[in-house]
Amino acid sequence: MTEESYLPGEEEQDLPEQIAIRLAKRERLLSSGVEAYPVSLPISHTIDAVRAKYPDLEIDVATGDTVALAGRVMFQRNTGKLCFATLQAGSGSRIQVMLSQEKVGESNLEHYKDLVDLGDHLFVSGEVITSKRGELSVLVDSWQIAAKTIRPLPNLHNELGEEYRVRHRYVDLIVRDRAREVVKIRSQVMQSMRKTFIERTFIEVETPMLQTIHGGASARPFKTHSNAFDTELFLRIAPELFLKRAVVGGIDRVYEINRNFRNEGADRTHSPEFAMLEAYEAYGDYNTMAELTQSLIQNAALDVFGTLQVELEDGEINDLSGEWDRISMFESLSNASGVEITPETDIAVLKKLADKEGLEIDHPLHGKYVEELWEHFVKGSLTKPTFVMDFPVDTSPLVRNHRSVAGVVEKWDLYIRGYEQATGYSELVDPVIQRERFVEQARLAAAGDPEAMKLDEEFLKALEFGMPPSGGMGMGIDRLLMTLTGLGIRETIMFPLVK
RNA sequence: GCGCCUCUAGCUCAAUCGGCAGAGCAACUGACUCUUAAUCAGUGGGUUCCGGGUUCGAUUCCCGGGGGGCGCACCA
């Protein structure tokens, strides 16, 4: 799609017809000494306020109440001597305005018909009345263009195409109630989660997004360069290693909600930049973090929708109620596959099972086979919210060993409707074991795994100063919005990346 | 990154077995003092994503490029 551009005073011949016509109207306004974009207007009421004040007037009533308000023109019905327009506020609420020749005069009404287009912001003042059909209206004494629109709105009687909605989200927000609603829901969910954290005396912090070493997860990073430091920098893939430094420093209950960046594929559930919540609690463990996570999500559902039976876009009900199940990864895999699988099971056995199931896994790690097999056998059957507990050690380098089960770590993943929603750990705080794990990762990196972590000496140094036993959790915010609405990730993010 | 599908007016979409490109809404002109997707009469608006090829003729067929969608891979 090519985009037209224009400069004031230039030839407008190549512009689309409707833009040229509207630019000419703007010029006509200006040359008659009228502002097309006035700096301020004496607004007395919002559209919502007028609607709230007069919820149910009779037909054909004059209130004697004069109001001054503004809104975007969404519909116009211009007749000879009595014109109607529907104004819309940013909230989406609408009110009808009426201009009669009797009230404003013939030439003023002609000006109105000549200059006001669909989409313009219009200021009016006049009496609140109801029309002969009973529609709550403002009978206009005077009007003024509040902002002249140069581009026409799309027609309101067809759904916008997916691409247009994403590329012109501001238009989408004007014409589609649900788009406005989703923005509001997202804001309310964030508020609710911050409320839950405040109740539990957590402190919100912001840690670096530009990092010299990317760590805390395994994913390909975006690279950039600092001119001042003449060094390569990475956009963070996770805030984990900095939040743990904060815990070392005595910020015992700490969380961050901010963007992570991962240079991976994008689909219905993945975006290159995505909002992430991470929280750490000194003297907590993965059990307390599971409880926290369940509370965060349940509180959000209650605060925003007033129910734990959340209705999704397709009408299905997502039941978030009750105490969420906790199942063991190895146990559930053994049950579902019919083969006893433990951390001691020989990798050759796992390979054979994977081959039999038609899974192509080419990876050196035992744990990778366990996780892939688990996804194959168990993941699809999880519909209720479920914590999957106790992961293989070799794929979870930042998690401490299980307190009583050998070969696994104290890590859970929370699945809701088959999507991985959150993860939680009992954090590894032993600097010696952490170093060993990092060295192992670096060894894998050398073997050609580009996503394995580099050694973060500064983080290790922080651990050497002593990190208290802690629980940690991470949750994708965009994913949470998807879980609560049933929308795709590009609908939960207001301005998703487009080329 | 790979495979399949797709791109036509401001918006949503038709059509072309290769032969003057259409509709609804929007726009423009006119009529209309109670409309509310107002109505009625009329008018204009297109590099059919871009570049090349085949052809008397390409928007349609072929090749290349770009945007978008879906699936697979990677990842949360």
* Angle between the N-to-C axes of helices A477-485 and A286-305, in degrees from 0 to 180, rounded to the nearest 10: 50
Q: Straight-line distance from CA A1 to C1' B67, in Å?
A: 8
Give this complex's ipTM: 0.90
Q: Measure CA to C1' and name the residue nearest B7.
A: A1
Tokens at A158, concatenated: 């067809």
Q: Is A451 helix (H, G, I), strand (E, B) or coil?
A: coil
3-state secondary structure A85-114: EEEECCCCCEEEEEEEHHHHCHHHHHHHHH
How far, in Å, is the CA of A107 from the C1' of nucleotide B41?
A: 25
Nearest protein residue to the C1' atom of B40, measured from CA: A79
A329-356: pLDDT as tens digits: 999 999 998 989 999 998 888 888 888 8
Query: With 80 as the cut, is the pLDDT of residue A66 above it?
Result: yes
In angstroms, rounded to a whole number, what is the distance separating the alpha carbons of residues A330 and A406? 12
Q: Are A399 and A427 in contact (CB under 8 A)?
A: yes
Give the amino acid at A34: V
C-alpha closest to that of A238 among A257, A217, A222? A217
Tokens of A12: 């407008």
Please write the tens of the pLDDT for every residue from A388-410. 999 998 888 899 999 999 989 99
pLDDT for A449 equals 61
The nucleotide lying nearest A163 (C-alpha to C1') is: B68
Residue A130's nearest nucleotide, by CA–C1', is B34
Provide, in whole angstroms, the distance separating residue A16's CA from nucleotide B9's C1': 10
DSSP letter (8 states) at residue A379: G
Helices (H), A100-176: 101-104, 106-115, 162-167, 169-175
What is the pTM for the complete model shown?
Answer: 0.91
Determine the distance between A5 (CA) and B20 (C1') in angstroms: 32
Q: What is the mean pLDDT of residues A215-233?
A: 88
Run of H or E residues at A326: strand A325-328
Check residue A255 and give its pLDDT.
98
CA-to-C1' span, A158 to B13 (A): 10
How distant is C1' of B47 from CA of A257, in Å? 48
CA of A134: nucleotide with nearest C1': B34
Q: How far: A6 CA to B16 C1' (Å)?
A: 35
Q: Which residue, among A59, A55, A65, has the nearest Cα to A95 in the 3D structure?
A: A55
Protein residue at shortest CA distance from C1' of B71: A267
* Å from the A382 CA to the B15 C1': 48
pLDDT band at A12 (very low <50, low <70, confident <90, very high): very low
Q: How many CB atoms lie within 10 A of CB A305?
A: 17
Burial tier of A403 (Cβ tally within 10 Å: 0-12, 13-18, 19+): exposed
- The residue that minimises its CA distance to C1' of B37 is A157
**Which nucleotide shows the minimum CA-to-C1' distance to residue A94?**
B36
Distance from C-alpha of A333 to C-alpha of A371, rounded to nearest angstrom: 9
Are the beta carbons of A231 and A295 closer than 8 angstroms?
A: no
A118: nt with nearest C1' to CA: B26
Q: How many residues does chain A have?
A: 499
Compute chain A's Rg from CA coordinates.
Answer: 30
- Strand-pairing partners, residue A309, are A319
CA→C1' distance for A181 and B8 (Å): 33
* Residue A55 pLDDT exceeds 60: yes
Among protein residues, the one whose C-alpha sits closest to the C1' atom of B10 is: A152
- Give strand letter and number of the nucleotide nearest A86 (CA to C1'): B36
Nucleotide nearest A413, from its CA to each C1': B76
Other Cβ atoms less than 10 A from the Cβ of A455: the count is: 15
Residue A262: nearest nucleotide (C-alpha to C1') = B75
Q: How far is the CA of A267 from the C1' of B1 (A)?
A: 14
Percent of chain A with pLDDT over 70: 95
Give the whole-angstrom CA distance, residue A62 versus residue A85.
Answer: 18
Tokens 């696994």 found at: A408
Residue A335's closest CA among A279, A384, A373, A297?
A: A373
Instruction: List protein-proximal bases of chain B (any atom < 7 A from a CB).
Output: 1, 9-13, 24-28, 31-38, 44-45, 49, 66-76
Q: Which of A80-84, A286-290, A368-372 has the lowest mean pLDDT?
A: A368-372
Give CA–CA dist A138/A125, Å, rounded: 7
Q: Give per-residue pLDDT as tens, A436-471.
A: 988 887 777 766 665 555 688 999 999 999 999 999
A387 and A324 Cβ atoms separated by less than 8 Å: yes
Measuring from the CA of residue A272 to each C1' atom, give the nucleotide at the shortest distance: B75
Rounded CA–C1' distance between A2 and B51, in angstroms: 16
CA A117 to C1' B40, in angstroms, rounded, equals 21
